[in-house]
Chain A
Amino acid sequence: MKLGPFILRRLLLAIFVLIGLSMVIFIIARVVPGDPARLALGPRAPVEVVEQLRKELHLDKSLPIQYWIWLTNALHGDFGKSLVSRRPVIEDIKEYLFATLELIFFTAIFMVFFAILLGTLAARNKDRWADNLIRVSAYIGVSIPAFVVAVFFILIFGHAWPILPVLGRLSSQFHISRVTGFMIFDSLLAGDLNAFWDAFTHLILPAVALALGGTFQEARITRSSMVDNLTKDFIAAEKGYGIPERIIMFKYLLKPSLIPTVSVMGLDIAATIGNAFLVELIFNWPGISRYGINAMLYKDLNAISGTVLIIGLVFVLTNIVVDIIVTFLDPSIRLGGVRGE
């Protein structure tokens, strides 16, 4: 399979999936709750006003037409107004989305870095104490929900041992103008190193809380795939050439061993985006997930549909990127061959 048609096929599939997702969201936000006009105006609004709003929201038309109007508006970035912030939902999303992307981006970097580091460590020390320690940590890490880790962090770093900030994105004395939306890059662009350090320390705890479970699991996968590949012929050949073990380990063994890790990464990022909903709430991280959770608690239907659609978009794109990376790591696919035997 060639890379170009493969990406094209994935993109077409993604568009199809997103249309389906928009239908599901439409059903959740517009059909299930009953009468959105009544919900927006409250139980004591007079009937004429409700009827007026129903006309404005096109609720008097049939469901397929309503869906079509809703979808075309959504494609133009118009999700309606938020009940809570009283602004267009798209403005809110623009404001909050990048904080979440920043968090997930650094969570992913943390996960990749430590998964590879710990996985290589475990593979080199197979069946010794480091390996066993990582195995036990993986079991426990998978069993701790991210929000429990977050609460523990609040207890440890918020109360017992306050060395890292636990709330928000930046301390109040710093004011960074927004360029990229990523606080870390913006503070660097502004040349304010103190603000950069402050933003970075704010990022550590939420990112670690999100990454913890996935990191150990991926370390395990990296480890077992490295151990599998260690018995392959090409490693024996390289040993025969007299290439030092360290170079074999990092240059020739690691890359093919990362394929299963990156595949699982897609699933772990899914979990991360989901868990961000609770972790952002706990750390008061001003991201789209915290916004979404608040929308859910206030039954803010326009905000819910906008948030979930954007999250779905981010998620689908992440999966395409993961697929492309996997394809790229596997030379038999990259060079136009067929995977497997």
Chain B
Amino acid sequence: MDNKEFRITTIEKSREEGKWYRFWDRIFRYWYYFSRNKLSVLGMSIVVLVILLAILAPYVTPYPEHAGPFVDFKNAGQPPGIKYWLGTDPIGRDIFTRIIFALRGALVMSIVVLAIAVPVGTLLGLLAGFYYRTIIDTIIMRISDVFLSVPSLVLALSIAAVLKPNLMNAMIAVTVMWWPWYTRLVYGMASSVRNEYFVIAAELRGASKFHILFREILPNCLSPVFTKMALDVGWVIIISASLSFVGLGEQPPKPALGQMVSDGAKYLPELWWMCIFPALAIIITILGFNLFGDGIRDMLQSSR
């Protein structure tokens, strides 16, 4: 190996190492900004715990078969205790098990809704911002205005009601209502970035529209999108719980958080645990995601 070649490989190697160094450096910096606020760390702990519980639901719950058509009248209406941590419902199913499986459904719903609504909304906002003040801009933004002109819960409820009530259609209903928020958010960013010098420079260089849209404009719009996503998980859980509360979400015997609260409300005040614990699960989960989302926002703002 002659001297020159050795030098080149060394430089490449150190560059490679520098990449890793910069990667970890960035991770640690982000963590520093994130963990400055202890509430954000609390939120993240709740989020991680909820996600773990949801993924491992069949293994961590004491009675996985209770999350379905299961009847055990001998243990019906048991108060919280050692055998049934959060009590049982009038047909003997363990409330704790059902809460964990309901959380699973709520999380799946948030993931599916955001996985569809965020790319679609972002893309439309990007296009509208790129073709600022043209007919494309007008069409896209006026359509999104229409969807924002009625409270999202109301239209989601009516779509879910017109379709057959189940988890799948609840997801469709919420997704249809969700993309305009991202369109509006990205539109605002993209239309202002659109006239920056680096975008004009790329245009003059003869860069393709694809390149300008996705490599020049999009990266500058992403951080608010991520922030909104983190905060929106909580919102989707609220909306999905609201849908299932009136019976337009997951159908019994499968558990859903809103459905458990509304069922439990019928047995107040004798079987109070049926209603209180699912309600607390909703509150704690949403609180966790909200604190986490706020932490992400502060982190992205202060590390800029």
Contacts and interface: CB of A to CB of B under 8 A. Distances in A.
A16 B139 CA distance: 12
A135 B97 CA distance: 33
Contact of B162 (A147, A148, A155, A304): A304
B287 A275 contact: no
Contacts of A18: 149
A17 interface: yes
B246 A278 contact: yes
Given A296-B158, A299-B162, A21 B234 contact: no
A39 B267 CA distance: 34
A32 B162 contact: yes
Interface stretch (B21-29, B77-85, B140-148): B140-148
A228 to B, nearest CB: 16
Interface in A1-50: 13, 16-18, 20-21, 23-25, 28-29, 32-33
Nearest to B165: A297
A277 B153 contact: yes
A146 to B, nearest CB: 9
A151 B150 contact: no
Contacts of B275: 151, 155
A270 interface: yes
B265 A154 contact: yes
Interface stretch (B5-13, B47-55, B116-124, B278-286): B278-286
B86 interface: no
Given A160-B269, A315-B150, 18 more contacts: A13-B145, A17-B142, A17-B149, A20-B146, A29-B158, A143-B290, A144-B283, A148-B282, A151-B261, A155-B269, A155-B276, A275-B242, A277-B153, A277-B246, A281-B246, A292-B157, A296-B248, A312-B150
Nearest to B43: A139
9 contacts: A17-B142, A32-B159, A33-B162, A145-B242, A147-B241, A147-B258, A151-B275, A277-B153, A277-B157
A297 B247 contact: yes
A148 B246 contact: no
Interface string B148-185: 01111111011111110000000000000000000000
B237 to A, nearest CB: 9
B161 A299 contact: yes
Contacts of B279: 148, 151-152
Interface residue SS majority, chain A:
helix
B149 A154 contact: no
A20 B145 contact: yes
A273 interface: yes
Nearest to B161: A296
Nearest to B269: A159
8 smallest beta-carbon distances between A and B, as pairs:
A274-B153, A274-B151, A20-B146, A296-B161, A143-B287, A159-B269, A143-B286, A312-B150
Tell me which of A29, A139, A158, A301 has the highest count of chain B C-beta atoms within 10 A of its own C-beta. Answer: A139
Interface residues of A, number: 49
Interface string B263-304: 001001100100110010011001100110000000000000
Interface residues of B, number: 43
B154 A145 contact: no
Interface string B230-249: 00001000100110011110
Contacts of A297: 161, 246-248
Interface of A: 13, 16-18, 20-21, 23-25, 28-29, 32-33, 139-140, 142-145, 147-148, 151-152, 154-155, 158-160, 270-271, 273-275, 277-278, 281-282, 292-293, 296-297, 299, 301, 304, 308, 311-312, 315-316
Nearest to B159: A28
B42 to A, nearest CB: 10
B257 to A, nearest CB: 10
Tell me which of A24, A142, A145 has the highest count of chain B C-beta atoms within 10 A of its own C-beta. Answer: A145
Nearest to A151: B265
Contacts of A17: 142, 145-146, 149
B192 to A, nearest CB: 14
A278 B269 contact: no
A28 B287 contact: no
B246 A311 contact: no
Contacts of B145: 13, 16-17, 20
Contact of B151 (A29, A273, A293): A273
Nearest to A160: B269
A20 B142 contact: yes
A20 B161 contact: no
